[in-house]
A and B are shown apart, each in its own frame.
Chain A
Amino acid sequence: MTTKTLRAAALALAGALALTACGSGGSDDGGGSGDGESLTFMFRGGADEKAAYQAAIDKFTEDTGVKVQMTVTDADQYATKLQAAVSGNKVPDVFYIEQANLQSYVASGVLLDITDQVEEAGVDLDNIWAYGVDSYRFDGTLQGTPEGRLYGLPKDVGPFAFGYNKTMLEAAGIPLPDPDVPLSLDEFRDIAKQLTTDTDGDGAVDQWGTGLNVQWNLQSMVWSNGGDWTNEDRTEVTVDTPEFAEALQYFADLTTVDGVTPNASEAATLDTYQRWMAGEIGFFPVGPWDVSVYNDLDFEYDLIPWPAGSTGESATWVGSLGIGVSATSGNPDAAVQLATYLSADPDAQQTLVDANVQIPNLIDVAEEWAGAADAKPANRQEFLDIVQDYGRAMPASFTYGAEWYDELWVNIQPVLDGKQSAADYLAEVQPKMQALLDESNANAEMAGGA
């Protein structure tokens, strides 16, 4: 009995330990702190981004003599690796920081307040997108307001624009949408219906009006319809309003009633993305990160404002990723210099923009970029309009954690399948989201007071 019990216990321990191992693993590649001559920089991205950053950083080393040791991870592993590096006291000198994590990293003393150093360095913050800079400001209560102290600089801003397949609309004899006036939701649906056809006559539909993913496209419809996720203080979840429900219902009906998208379940996969690239979809979102791929497609496309709901105004979100500096960096001056360089140096920006991995951070560079005669897509200006005029932060960008926001998506599938009405679902999910938001706000307060 005893040996068996022991053996069983050992096996079970092994099981439990494999779990705890998650917490301790991976801290070996966070890098050390700077020793005066070198810095560590941790970021995420694909192969092309890595190459672009390598080029920009080589230039930095050439100019300043400061060596930079880079650690790059896949996007989905980044948060885990960074957290492991922090727990292991091996915080990189300079690293990417997500908007939604800023508050907890500030509260935990990981991020350096760089307000003064950036000012002393003479960085012209007015020439960087206000949205981008303000995203990393935090006044102890609200993040994203112009008054707060600066805990990072924008690595980039990512306006989520809307595009259409010009070749397809021309072939169907549909007048091209006005790049200055948004379509109404009804107009959008009508065009989408016309585009949804069986082009080769085999009895199966093979061309659709659109194909949207609820997690990334619902924001536009809700906001332009006058709804929102929370009140202004970010204390009340407001998804149970009629404006919100109307927008979600419209979104679901595109599939289940109007049939202008491939089908509900495919909206959550890559399929619509691939169909768009194969030229089978009329309207599709376009982010700056898509441009290098989309420019090689064998049809013409261009950008237009998002279709607008009852307010008549387009709305969409702007993503952003920041560059922060470690509060424990051994060489904070050089670290701030690197962050500033990556965010605001014209040469560095040019390198990154030429690699087609982002739109320019500097407003003057961006305007020149948008007005270029060979701009592709032609209406690049739309990206800038979004950042400057009508783009907003994602609902959970400035709250303490995004769990309350993610809750909306978990059980949404029955609505998208037409098995539950949007209003019913939203009434059901609102209290759950509210409870999680309350918790997040309580955590923020506790962290701020600690």
Chain B
Amino acid sequence: MSRTTAEPTPVPTAPAAGIVPPDGDDRGSALHARQAMRRLHRTEHRWAAAFVAAPVIGFLVFTLYPLGYALYASLTRWNGLTAPQFIGLDNYAALLGDEYFRKTLWNTAFYMIGIPIGLVLALLLAIALNRKIPGQTAFRTIYYVPVISSLAAIAIVWQFAYNGDFGLVNQVLSWFGIDGPDWLQNTATVKPAIILMAVWKGLGYSMLLYLAAIQSVPRSLYEAASLDGANGYHRFRWITLPMVRPVTFFLVVTNVIAGSQIFTEINIMTPTGGPEFSSASIVYYIVRKAFKYQQMGYATAMAVVLGLIVLVVTLIQFRLNRRNSFSID
């Protein structure tokens, strides 16, 4: 990605540099050929434009317009039924004094604890499953099953598992003489319980990406390191870990974005937002305001703030990652 002082070649005259024959003595035929190329290109251009237009129009209609409208709606009092009423920044001002907004933002941030935990576990698993062990494929499949299962179904199953009374989790704990709490009804345990489930659910996906990354590390690096006397830990620390860094970066960014939108688990496992709103995420609160209390404008203002937070956090991540860029020639 490094940029040197000058471009190596001047900008070519024909649109596609690769197809243009090198300038020779026979300038006439070259010109002729170039004109023929242009005619050909015109049709190609049209086709290209059509192909490009499809996603661009899709972006304009389904992305840019809703985004613009959301920005506008956040400046209105709107119940979702009648025309919005412009009220300026009142919704944003109200957000500042909304203790549930702060609380749900904090809860959402808290859920992010699951991301590093999940990544470490996924990497360790990927390394384990990269070895030649019996039943390797079966294990890989087992870890991937939660990924393809319906999140709603999983949330319901875990809700039963967490039941304080007859839930699987507490039954297992009771074998060890531990009297487990009623996980989802307790302010101290409800968030860790949901994190545990989310980590379990996402493990297979992260593991798969790590597995692919590990397998694409050139064997020669390990061989060279071994010759230099590197032990297993060294090879992991100085070869595997740096080589899978792009995957780690990708997973962190996408997990943070997905994590900031956590909703389904919360809504199903703790339909009232948990004891004292302790499990309610920001999106849960947005949905509740928008659809239960018909405060669409206010809810949209929260969505905009969340969008901005995600934007800033993502930019920071990209900035931090710049230092880690490297390339192999």
Which residue on A lies nearest to B187, using beta carbons? A413
Known contacts A108-B82, A411-B276, A450-B82; A16/B310 CB under 8 A: yes
Contact B67 A22 (CB under 8 A): no
Question: Which of B164, B283, B290, B293 contacts A266 (CB under 8 A)?
Answer: B164
B153 CB-CB contact with A under 8 Å: no
- Whether B290 and A22, one on each chain, are in contact in the complex, defined by CB atoms closer than 8 angstroms, is yes
Q: Which of B294-310 contact A (CB under 8 A)?
A: 294, 296, 300, 303-304, 306-307, 310
CB atoms of A9 and B311 under 8 A apart: yes
Query: In this complex, what residue of B is CB-closest to A14?
Result: B257
Query: Shortest CB–CB separation between residue B257 and chain A, in angstroms?
Result: 4
Interface residue? B205 (CB, 8 A): no
Residues in A with CB closer than 8 Å to B253 are: 11
Interface status of B163 (Cβ within 8 A of chain A)? yes
User: For residues 203 through 246 of chain B, which have their beta carbon under 8 Å from a beta carbon of chain A?
Assistant: none
Contact assessment for B276 and A265 in the assembled complex, using a CB-CB cutoff below 8 Å: no
**Interface assignment of A447: CB less than 8 Å from any CB of chain B:** yes
Instruction: Tell me if B91 is interfacial: C-beta within 8 Å of chain A.
Output: no
Tell me the complex Cα distance, A414–B314, Å.
Answer: 38
Chain A CB within 8 A of B277 CB: yes
Known contacts being A4-B322, A13-B63, A269-B182, is A19 close to B315, with CB within 8 Å?
Answer: no
Is A389 part of the contact surface with B, judged by Cβ < 8 Å?
Answer: no
Q: Is B186 an interface residue (CB 8 A)?
A: yes
Our pick among B81, B187, B276 for the contact of A87 (Cβ within 8 Å) is: B81
Q: Are B81 and A12 neighbours in the complex by a CB distance under 8 Å? A: no
Q: Which residue of B165, B185, B294, B318 contacts A401 across the interface (Cβ within 8 Å)?
A: B294
Among A83, A105, A411, max chain B CB count under 10 A is at A83
Q: Could you say which residues of chain B place their CB within 8 Å of the CB of A414? A: 276
A76 proximal to B (CB < 8 A)? yes
List residues of chain B with CB within 8 A of the CB of A79: 291-292
Cβ of A106 to closest chain B Cβ, rounded Å: 10
Q: Which residues of B contact A443 (CB under 8 A)?
A: 79
For the complex, is A311 an interface residue (Cβ under 8 Å from B)?
no
Assess the B287–A22 pair: CB atoms within 8 A: yes
Which residues of B, 75-102, contact A by the 8 Å Cβ criterion? 79-82
B318 touches A12 (CB 8 A): no
Cβ contact within 8 Å between A15 and B257: yes
A394 touches B (CB below 8 Å): no
For B79, give its contact among A15, A104, A265 (CB under 8 Å): A104
Picked from B186, B260, B290, the residue with its CB within 8 Å of the CB of A15 is: B260
Assess A12 versus B287: contact at CB under 8 Å? Given A401-B293, A401-B294, A410-B276.
no
Contact of B303 with A12 in the complex, beta carbons under 8 Å: no
A17 is an interface residue with CB less than 8 A from chain B: yes
A266 touches B81 (CB 8 A): no
Tally chain A residues at the interface, Cβ within 8 Å.
49
Residues from chain A with Cβ under 8 Å of B292 in the complex: 79, 402-403
B303 and A8 form a contact (CB under 8 A) = no
Residues of B within 8 A of A12 (CB): 257, 307, 310-311, 314-315
Q: Is the CB of B79 within 8 A of A447?
A: yes
CA distance A101 to B307 in the complex (A): 30
A115 at the interface (CB under 8 A from B): no
Task: Please give the number of chain B residues whose Cβ is less than 8 angstroms from any Cβ of chain A in the complex.
Answer: 49
CB of B272 within 8 Å of the partner chain: yes
Interface assignment of A64: CB less than 8 Å from any CB of chain B: no
* Binary interface encoding of chain B residues 155-166 relative to chain A, with 1 for a CB under 8 A from any of its CBs, else 0: 000000001110
A19-32: CB near B (< 8 Å → 1, else 0) gives: 11111100000000
* Chain A residue with the shortest CB-CB distance to B66: A20
A269 to B69, CA, bound (A): 40
Q: Are B165 and A271 in contact (CB under 8 A)?
A: yes
The reply to whether the CB of B273 lies closer than 8 angstroms to some CB of chain A is yes
The residue in B186, B286, B311 that gathers the most chain A C-beta atoms within 10 A of its C-beta is: B311
The answer, yes or no, to whether A109 is at the interface (CB within 8 Å) is yes
Write the nearest CB–CB distance from A273 to chain B, whole angstroms. 12
How near does chain B come to A90, taking the closest CB pair, in angstroms?
13
Contacts of B277 in A (CB 8 A): 410-411
* B306 and A8 contact, CB distance less than 8 A: no
Q: Flag if A109 contacts B310 (CB, 8 Å).
A: no
With an 8 A cutoff between CB atoms, is A86 at the interface?
yes
**B70 contacts chain A at the CB level, 8 A cutoff:** yes
> Does residue A363 face the partner (Cβ distance < 8 Å to B)?
no
Query: A107 — nearest CB in chain B belongs to which residue?
Result: B82
Check A11 against B257 for contact (C-beta < 8 Å): yes
The reply on A80 being an interface residue by CB < 8 A is yes
Q: What are 17 A-B contacts defined by CB distance under 8 Å? A: A5-B315, A7-B318, A11-B253, A12-B315, A14-B257, A15-B311, A16-B67, A22-B287, A24-B66, A79-B292, A80-B291, A104-B79, A104-B81, A105-B81, A265-B185, A269-B184, A450-B82
Given contacts A17-B66, A269-B184, 16 further A-B contacts (CB under 8 A): A8-B314, A12-B307, A16-B310, A19-B286, A19-B303, A20-B300, A23-B300, A83-B291, A108-B79, A109-B82, A265-B275, A266-B185, A402-B293, A409-B272, A410-B272, A443-B79
| B binding-site residues for A, Cβ under 8 Å | 63, 66-67, 69-70, 79-82, 163-165, 182, 184-187, 253-254, 257, 260-261, 271-273, 275-277, 283, 286-287, 290-294, 296, 300, 303-304, 306-307, 310-311, 314-315, 317-318, 322
Q: Which A residues lie at the B interface, using CB under 8 A?
A: 4-5, 7-9, 11-24, 76, 79-80, 83, 86-87, 101, 104-105, 107-110, 262, 265-266, 268-269, 271, 401-403, 409-411, 413-414, 443, 447, 450
